[in-house]
Amino acid sequence: MRFQVPQFIEIEDKVVGPLTLKQFMYLAGGAGMIFVVYRLLPLFVSILVIPVILALSLALSFYKVNNKPFIDLLEAGFSFYTGEKLYIWKKQDKKIVPKTETEGAEPRQVYVPRLSDSKLKDLTWSLDVKQNLGQNPNHGDQDAG
């Protein structure tokens, strides 16, 4: 059975002419706010407020910043200015510690002896035998102590 995979899911449907539902709602909300401002405020105040509302509603409807809607920019700006800020870096005076003789010298190299095949086989055989007999490694030595 074959299923059809939806394509172009990022593109919103055009609901009202060439406008998407969001664009239409932003424009209708802006027009409603302009009407309310015009009716409630005096004419000289409304002439100053109406262009701001018109510009905001047009920006919300059509303007994109870095291929993202303008509402995302407004939300990020609002959360930045109202949110808490975390400042981590604090400058502290450094204390000068004199170098000791061991710090200035090169690190000491540790000598690791290499085992030949025969010594390695003897060592593993002795460990296996003592573990299989259930003896303590120091218990089998008669001369010790």
pLDDT, one tens digit per residue, over 108-139 is 676 666 656 677 777 777 777 666 665 555 55
**Which spans in 1-145 are helix H?**
21-40, 43-62, 70-82, 101-104, 117-133
Parse the chain into domains and list their residue ranges.
14-82
Answer for the pair 23, 61: CB distance below 8 angstroms, yes or no. Answer: yes
Q: What is the DSSP letter of 128?
A: H
Ordered DSSP codes for 84-118: ---------PPPP-PPPHHHHSPPPPPP-PPPPHH
- Model pTM greater than 0.85? no
Answer for the pair 104, 97: CB distance below 8 angstroms, yes or no. Answer: no
pLDDT by residue (tens digit) across 7-63?
878 777 788 888 899 999 999 999 999 999 999 999 999 999 999 999 999 999 999
